[in-house]
């Protein structure tokens, strides 16, 4: 999609796979069964964590990258 000038972000727990297939903007999400959250957290903390993942994805969309780049959520801010 980036080649067609459509910026996009891949949220995944499998960053190495996304990197190897050439995804340009990769956001490390939660577990492979819940890439955009962590259902083990209490509900309010889980909602906050989900929001941080999506905010990181939106931030990644604004970045000009030249190849696969991994963006991580600052987990120290979780909850």
- Listed in sequence order, the residues at least 6 apart from 41 whose beta carbon sits closer than 8 Å to its beta carbon are 49, 78, 79
Q: Closest Cα partner for 71 from 15, 21, 20? A: 15
CB neighbour burial string for 47-78, b if at least 16 within 10 angstroms, e if fewer: eebbebbbebbeebeeeeeeebebbebeeeee
In the numeric block, the tokens 């727990």 are attached to: 13
- Residue 77 confidence (pLDDT) above 50: no
User: What confidence tens digit (pLDDT) does each residue in 15-66 have?
Assistant: 999 999 999 999 998 888 899 988 899 999 999 999 999 999 999 999 999 9
């Amino acid at each position: 999609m980036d080649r067609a000038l459509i910026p996009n972000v891949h949220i995944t727990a499998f960053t190495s796979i996304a990197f190897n297939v050439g995804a340009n903007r990769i956001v490390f999400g939660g577990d492979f069964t819940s890439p955009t959250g962590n259902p083990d957290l209490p509900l309010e903390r889980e909602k906050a964590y989900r929001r941080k993942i999506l905010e990181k994805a939106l931030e990644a969309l604004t970045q000009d990258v030249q190849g696969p780049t991994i963006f991580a959520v600052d987990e120290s801010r979780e909850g």
